[in-house]
Amino acid sequence: MTDYLIEQYDLEIATGLGDLDGDIFRIGCMGHSARPQNVSFLMGALGDALDEQGADVDVEAGLAATAQKLGER
Q: What is the pLDDT of residues 21-40, one digit of tens each?
A: 989 988 887 788 788 888 99
Confidence (pLDDT) at 44: 94
Does the model's pTM come out above 0.85? Answer: no
Helix residue ranges per DSSP H, the chain: 2-9, 36-52, 59-70
Helix (H, G, I), strand (E, B) or coil at 21: coil
Q: Say how many C-beta atoms besides its own lie within 10 A of residue 68's C-beta.
A: 10
Confidence (pLDDT) at 72: 67
Instruction: Answer yes or no: CATH 3.90.1150.10 is held by domain 2-70.
Output: yes
Confidence (pLDDT) at 41: 93
Higher pLDDT, 70 or 29: 70
How far apart (Å, rounded) are the C-alpha atoms in residues 24 and 17?
9
pLDDT of residue 73 exceeding 60: no
